[in-house]
Structure 1
Amino acid sequence: MSSTSRLSIGLKLGTAFAALIAAAPALAQDEETQVAAANVDGIEESAGDEEILVTARRRSESLQDVPISVTALDGETLEDQGATDLTAVMQRTPNTTLQIARGSNSTLIGFIRGVGQQDPLWGFEPGVGLYLDDVYVARPQAAVLDIFDVERIEVLRGPQGTLYGRNTIGGAVKYVTRRLGNEFSGRVRASYGSYDQIDLVGSVTAPVTDTLSVGGAVAWLQRDGYGENLNTGTEHYNKDVLAARASIEFAPTSDLFFRLAGDWIRDTSNARHAHRLIGNAGIPAYDPPADEYDTRAGAGDPNEVETRGISLLAEWNVDDRVTLKSITAYRDGETEGNIDFDGTPLPTLDIPAFYEDDQFSQEFQIVYEGDRLQGVAGVYYLDGHAAGAFDTVLGNAGLTIFTAGSVDTRSLAAFADFSYNLSDRWRVSLGGRYTSDRREGTVFRQTLLGLRSPFFGNEAAVPLTTNTDYTNTREDDQFTPRASLSFLPTPDVTLYASYSKGYKSGGFDMRGDASLTPNTVNGYDPETVDAYEVGLKAYALDRALYFSVAGFYSDYQDQQVTVQVPVGTNVASFVNNAADSRIWGLEAEVRANITDAFSVSAMFGYTNADFKRVITFDPVTQQDVDVSDIWGFQNTPEFNFAVAPTYVHDLGGGGTLTFAPSISYRSSYQQFEVPNALLDEDGYTLVDAAIVWTSADQRFQVSAVGRNLADERYRIGGYNFPGALFGNSIVAFYGPPRTFTITGEVRF
């Protein structure tokens, strides 16, 4: 985009923001000065229990007061319990799936209440938005963030279209890092565990002056593979990640705050290939390995993912009621790797791939905190680019299908969300967001004679046909409202009812084959969800017990469905707005302090997701077909629950000893919309346990953690390409096996 265009957009945003600022005094003229501001650092002491503060509505408030289903997890607690990365959060969160994408080491897929996006191909948007310190992470590559230097993680369930915008149609996950403060501190953590796991993490905060602090954290995370590539002899399911974060905080006055932050992640773990589930006509090369983590893949082991980001937060407390915020951010990344779909040394179905992306975003907010009126309003702009290329190598036919393309996105939005205390017992919240998207997609798809294309090293490949070659644009806009009513019969009990609308933008299928599906050049439309929720959040027994219960119903319309169907010597890929569905369910979370030393937390989730209408295209017959009675929801178990007791033994001057076992369960679920008895997961139970010693001055800590103690083998993804041409490749990817880790930490 030209500098003139950026300046024009900046002026428009500035004008809109100025109008919001001018409107603030009118909104507030009858308000009294707020008595006290909330502590934004996550947890604040209160009588009888800890009051958890979250920023689910883009401002700090008590979890109990938020009319949204939110799970807030403290970063230190996650570390103590041996949580290695973001995917561990789903074991503590109702109706949530956060997993490493099939054929990947650090690409995130997310589903909440049945809504999400499994396919991480460039150009496809997630259904669960990920936010790193209020910066939207548009691409899922390297988004399986490791748990280090994190203050808390918030999981917001249900559409968050008003405050978080497009592509949070299922919900949002907020990864909140620690602010530095103005005191010197640091810590060093080292871990050793199963499969020669070695993790080294260090962080430091150093005040330069009374108003300026600098800090950073570095993590080196290494582990041998859970399995082996029996063809090449290399580690399989290994980990080799180097990550760093750094920030500068400047507070020249008590009313001004600036934070410049950067992060960098480099993942050079070996490519994660497929494990075959069945053989192929008695050919030994296609026999499934005995161990689920082993493969015989021959596509290649090199794999590298690198992402970088920088952001600038500026806050100005205009007075006791009004705060102005600006969030400016830029992120980019590249991915080079291989996925062997057939899991054999033969090039039956191999996919070498390359991705790249970058994004610039700017957000202005005005936050108002009055005695009876509270809320936030703002404007948001995103300029994103994603591109890539991959080969579909069909060794049995001696052919390669080369696919390349890019998608450019510009999104502009204005939003407002305010709550008003009608009385001491009644509160009402209203909000809305208008989003305008413009996307330009370019797709090129060509069939060549030979194994691999010139782009991936085979200069001798001979072009046969061009299947797709187009550039097109589409513009979509959407208004996403939100409304809620809360009733507080006592200060410790909140009942609420809410309505919200979610929106995932339309786009272009980067795999689209115009020779088989001509309509692919027109792209696909947005999908929407109308969600209704009723809930109860309450403290009881002198605040020793906290529990929340919610029931939800969602009307899911124009659902985007990605389909890949073998057709002759080709694979037809298309995305269409094929489905309407209804989703309803229940959620419950409990935290009980039984004694001063013993506490229990638990959660339960139930989701009933059912397609009401599915009309999809059959590329063989070139006709639309009704598959409503066949399809089911993917990555959506009907039940999930977890129980996690914690016992803390006081050793007097010797510190404390904490024992924290946990058990979590997920019922059966499908990998794709079409059921497959070989691929689909029957359900599994994970048993974990942690023992943590902490010194009396809290400077030293030693922990021993066991995860998946029952050594469950459970599928988290797969591919389904039956037939002789594809080597009858029905393959799966698995979650981690049983592991043990010992960790020591020193704080200073």
Structure 2
Amino acid sequence: MSRFALRSAAGSAALAALLSSVAPAALAQATGEARDAAAVADAGSPVGLAEVTVTARRREENVQDVPIAVSVTTGEQLADTGVSSILQLTQLVPTLQVLSPNPRNTALTIRGLGASYGLANDGLEQGVGVYVDQVYNSRPASATLDFIDIQQIEVLRGPQGTLFGKNTTAGALNVTTRDASQAFEAQFEGTVGTYDYRQVKGTVSGPIVQDKVAARLSYVGTWRDGTIYNPVQQKDQNAVNNQALRAQILLTPTQALTIRLNADYSWQQPECCTQLYYTVGTTLKPANQQYPALAAGRNYRPPSTNPYDRKAVIDDLIQADQWLSGLSAIVDYDLGFATLTGVAAHREWDWEPRNDRDYTALDVTRRSNNPSHQKQDSLELRLASSGASRVDWTVGLYYFDQNVTTNGVTEYGSDASYWLLPATNTPAALLEGYTVFNDSTIDTTSYAVFGQLTWNVTERLKITPGLRYTDEKKDGAYAQRVTGGLATTDATLISRRNGIARPQAFSAETDDGSLSGQIAVSYEVSDTLNVYASYSRGHKSGGINMTALPLTAQNVPAQEAAVIDPEKVTTYEAGVKSQLFDRLLTANLAVFATDVKDFQANVVDSGPGALRGYLANVEKVTVRGAELDLATRRIGGFSGYFNFAYTDAKYDDFKNGPCPLERVGTSTAACDLSGRQLPGVSKWAGAFGADYRRESALLGGGEFYLGVDASFRSSYFADATTSIYTRLKAQQIVNFRAGFESETGWEGFVSLKNAFDEKYMQNLTVVSGNSGLVVGTPGDDRTISFTLRGRY
């Protein structure tokens, strides 16, 4: 039996042992349930499941009444399971996947859609919308930040546009933070653990003017030493250094008027993010142009060919510094017949990286840095009906304006000619010191009008149509200039160097209007059984390549690649939402089919130089799947959860795709990828676990508890080419926790993460030049931590 199989079996056995004394109904999804809802109505008699309230349709509703596939995770569950960012949220929500070799290149998908894997491109919008307190966060880098003072997170699957400000074609993460309170409260939490892990959280909230003005201030700081050792620089790397502040002033001048003023500021300054030798793939190039021969020619050997030895070899400094900040005002006014809501926000993001992009100790690519600055302004107005009526409705207007400016630099070294132009006898001086500067700016302006209503045909039958019209314009400009290297008039040498990078400049614009929408029909078979079916049509506006364009066979930029077409998504979904056994068990099932035309992919040029990510349309992508969520109340002290997802996502028609590494030859000919699995999505994924609590009179009274959480994913591809060398292997992670929660408000617990020390990779990258070298970042190994938490 393989080591992976042994550890997987051990993890499953441990979980099975903990659940063995629990009835099948005790497979509980802890998501969406606050701990105080676990009380019993009679001594020894469990009550039904507490109602989980969501705002997925911009009004407070029981999640069981919403005809949408949605997962809900409370702040309590995030704290209990040690999930501190969207990156880790995937352990609880299997339909959500994230790849993040560094913050700027973070990609989020729901049901396999939403992002293009590869180098970041500022000209492409994300298909998964991240909303924090009703404000759209356009930069996926926000997914790498620590959660701070979270009330709950809703993960909505499928196109969301008829009620959410920014149109999103794959789904949305609706994050709600806690409001300021009129009663004084304070919370503190401190954690220490492996790799000198330290995390501090603190919140204070209370009244300023009784019943009129309240304020809330929260802070989180996380630090950890690097998990990778670099023997070249003799230091640890891939460390963590995150801090964040959030403040709110809540004004309630009248019973009808509520004003929330929010401010947040977050920053990361870690020595991060390098990648390690993972494998070498065999290409179709001559042997003397592939990695084994090239490395031997420089007498180069990495310190280890096992990535789990955690040894890096880069010889230049690295950093992944970023700052995110924002201000927002949310105004709700009760008009009686309806509630008027206004959301105005300004956000900024600064990205200051430093990279050694050849990921070796050779002097190939000395620097590859793309500092970026983004700012956005948004305004949303909504009017939503109040009270029960035959027709419930919401209408809204949305405005979004964004500017992203990037000023990058790439510098080549003394080994660049040898490595990137192999077997050509090119002098080293041709590329030594050759420096490429790239400057780009793109402006996006979006206007939208949207609306949705629910027609209560009868007490049980409801029809919910929605429409959205969006007009979005993008204006972009890109300029690349070069300097340094060998001064020569030799046409052959100039052509070779231009193949690595050449001066080019272009400007482009897109302007398209689109109508999208959805209709859902739901029927309440009984008070505890609801069935629904829906049809939705999503639209993502066209994109502009904010990077160097790919080169044609004549070694000139392909101007026709500057603009790509809009992406159109059609989704059919049917589902059942039920509560069984006197509401002890919640069982929700959804099946769906999605077709995407002109899927916007971020592909990689297979030319000789640095990796050039550029946008392209895939004619058709199809996704089919099913999702099951089970949840129960506590039974005899036990609770647990089980979430499962099957997702079959593939390129249905992609004849002009990028060639996978194993098919890269001496030309840059396209490859037919039709029928291949879509990158960034596991066909099988799940999350399951259990919790046992027992009351005790010790330590002043409280509860001892034990918990286990496990997640699994089948293998998936890490890049758009779906190369056999960039397929991430299946993984199963098991975490344990044990602690005591007192009746007086303090809590202490121990967490053991990745208890069976599962060896897995977080991401994989084909290194520039297509020599066959593939690098990646190993996932965290087994760690242990202790947390002390107090509430007042």
Give yes or no for TM over 0.5.
Answer: yes
| Structure 2 unpaired stretches of 5+ | 1-31, 39-46, 280-290, 418-430, 487-496, 660-664
Aligned counterparts of 2:695 and 2:393: Cα–Cα separation in 1: 43
Task: State whether structure 2 residue 404 is matched by structure 1 residue 386.
Answer: yes
Following superposition, the deviation at residue 402 of structure 1 comes to: 2.9
Counterpart in 2 of 1:111? 109
Please show how residues 428-447 of structure 1 align to structure 2 within 5 Å.
Answer: 428-447=463-482
Q: Would you say 1:502 and 2:538 are equivalent positions?
A: yes
CA offsets 1:688-721 (integer angstroms, 9 cap, x no match): 1111311113x10111111111112222222213
Match of 1:266 in 2: 267
Residue 623 of structure 1 and its aligned partner are, at CA, apart by 9.6
Determine the structure 1 residue equivalent to 2:239. Answer: 238
Aligned counterpart, 2:691: 646
Q: Which moved more, 1:64-73 or 1:174-183?
A: 174-183
Q: Is contact 1:286–1:343 with CA below 8 Å preserved after alignment? A: no
Paired position in structure 2 for 1:484? 520
Q: Is 2:145–2:242's contact at 8 Å kept on the other side of the alignment?
A: no
- Displacement of 1:573 after TM fit? 4.0
Quick check: 2:741–2:748 contact (8 Å CA) kept in 1? yes
CA distance, structure 1, for counterparts of residue 269 and residue 668 of structure 2: 44
**In the TM superposition, what is the alpha-carbon distance from 1:731 to its structure 2 partner?**
1.0
Equivalent residues in 2 for 1:24-423 (5 A)?
48-99=48-99, 101-102=100-101, 104-105=102-103, 108-117=106-115, 118-119=117-118, 120-164=120-164, 166=166, 168-210=168-210, 211-278=212-279, 280=292, 281-282=295-296, 283=298, 285-287=300-302, 289=304, 290-292=306-308, 293-319=310-336, 321-349=337-365, 350-371=367-388, 372-395=390-413, 396-397=416-417, 398=431, 399-423=434-458
Contact 1:563 1:575 in 2 (8 A): yes
Report the CA distance shift for 1:303/1:96 in structure 2 as closer, same or farther (over 3 A). Answer: closer
Q: Deviations over 1:584-620 (max 9, x none)?
A: 1000000123514111210110011122211327799
**CA distance in 1 between partners of 2:767 and 2:71 (Å):** 38
In structure 2, the CA distance between the partners of 1:407 and 1:44, relative to structure 1 (3 Å rule), is: farther
In structure 2, C-alpha distance between the alignment counterparts of 1:493 and 1:333, rounded to whole Å: 45
Deviation at 1:63, TM superposition (A): 0.4
CA change 1:208–1:611 in 2 (3 A) is same
Paired residues of 1:554 and 1:583 also in contact (CA < 8 A)? yes
Report if aligned partners of 1:470, 1:521 keep a CA contact under 8 Å in 2.
no
- What are the superposed Cα offsets for residues 153-173 of structure 1, whole Å, 9 maximum, x if unpaired? 111111113222555211111
Which SS does the other structure have where 2:79 is aligned? helix
> What is the letter of the counterpart of residue 311 of structure 1?
S
* 1:740 match: 784
- Contact persistence 2:165–2:380 (CA under 8 A): no
Judge which range, 674-683 or 275-284, deviates more.
Answer: 275-284
2:761 to 708, 715, 719: 715
The Cα shift of 1:43 comes to 9.6
Residue 720 (structure 2) aligns with: 673
Relative to 1, partners in 2 of residues 1:52 and 1:367: Cα closer, same or farther, differing over 3 Å?
Answer: same
Asked if 1 retains the 8 angstrom alpha-carbon contact of 2:549 and 2:562, the reply is no
What is the CA RMSD across the aligned residues, in angstroms? 2.6
Contact 1:341/1:729 (CA < 8 Å) preserved in 2? no
Structure 1 residue 667 displacement after superposition: 0.2
C-alpha separation in 2, matches of 1:484 and 1:79: 35
Cα separation, 1, equivalents of 2:480 and 2:657: 20
Q: Which amino acid aligns with 2:480?
A: R
In the alignment, what sits opposite 1:661? 708
Separation in 2 of the partners of 1:326 and 1:42? 29
Shift of 1:391: 2.9
Q: 2:604 aligned with 1:564, yes or no?
A: yes
- Which stretch shifts more, 360-369 or 79-88? 79-88
**8 Å contact from structure 2 (residues 35, 76) kept in 1:** no
Decide whether the 8 Å contact of 2:529 with 2:576 is kept in 1.
Answer: yes
Distance of 2:255 and 2:586 partners within structure 1: 35
| 2:136 alignment partner AA | Y
Distance 1:602 1:111 in 2: 21
Q: Relative to total residues, which structure has the larger strand share, 1 or 2?
A: 1
1:372-409 Cα distance to aligned partner (Å, 9 max, x none): 32232100000100111323444312234332201100
SS in structure 1 opposite 2:654?
strand
CA contact (8 A) 1:488 1:495 kept: yes
- Equivalenced residue count is 693
Please, which moves more after superposition, 510-519 or 704-713?
510-519
> What letter matches 2:271 in structure 1?
N
Q: Quote the Cα distance in structure 2 between the aligned partners of 1:352 and 1:450.
A: 19
User: CA separation in 2, counterparts of 1:740 and 1:94?
Assistant: 24
Give the Å deviation of 1:257: 0.4
The gaps in structure 1 that reach 5 residues or longer are 1-39, 452-461
- Matched residues in 1 for 2:584 and 2:691: separation? 14
Distance 1:518 1:121, change over 3 A: closer
What code does the residue aligned with 1:333 have? Answer: W
Query: CA distance change for structure 1 residues 44 and 54 in 2, over 3 Å: closer, same or farther?
Result: farther
Q: CA deviation at 1:539?
A: 0.5
Other structure's SS at 1:148 match: coil
Give the counterpart letter for 1:559 in structure 2. F
Deviation track 1:157-194 (CA, whole Å, cap 9, x = no partner) reads 11113222555211111221001121111111111011
Query: What percentage of aligned pairs have identical amino acids?
Result: 26
Shift of 1:514: 6.2
C-alpha distance in structure 1 between counterparts of 2:754 and 2:657, whole Å: 42
- For the structure 1 residues 150 and 511, does the alpha-carbon distance in structure 2 shift closer, same or farther, using more than 3 Å as the test? same
> Quick one: distance in 2 between partners of 1:83 and 1:558?
35
In 2: Cα distance, 1:133 partner to 1:42 partner: 20
Paired residue secondary structure (1:64): helix
Check 1:546–1:144 CA distance in 2 against 1; reply closer, same or farther (3 A cut): same
Instruction: Classify the secondary structure of the residue corresponding to 2:78.
Output: helix
Query: Which residue in 1 is equivalent to 2:13?
Result: none
Give, as a single letter, the amino acid of the residue that structure 1 aligns with 2:620.
Answer: D
Q: What CA distance in whole angstroms lies between the structure 2 residues aligned with 1:741 and 1:482?
A: 46
Change (3 A) 1:137 1:261: same
TM-score by length of 2: 0.83
Q: Which moved more, 1:339-348 or 1:364-373?
A: 339-348
CA contact (8 A) 1:227 1:237 kept: yes
- Segment of structure 1 superposing worse, 373-382 or 610-619: 610-619
CA contact (8 A) 2:216 2:248 kept: yes
2:17 aligned residue: none
Going from structure 1 to structure 2, the CA distance change for 1:573 and 1:105 (only over 3 Å counts) comes to: closer
Do 1:445 and 1:513's aligned partners in 2 also have CA atoms closer than 8 Å? no
Tell me, in whole angstroms, the C-alpha distance in 2 between the residues paired with 1:199 and 1:596.
34
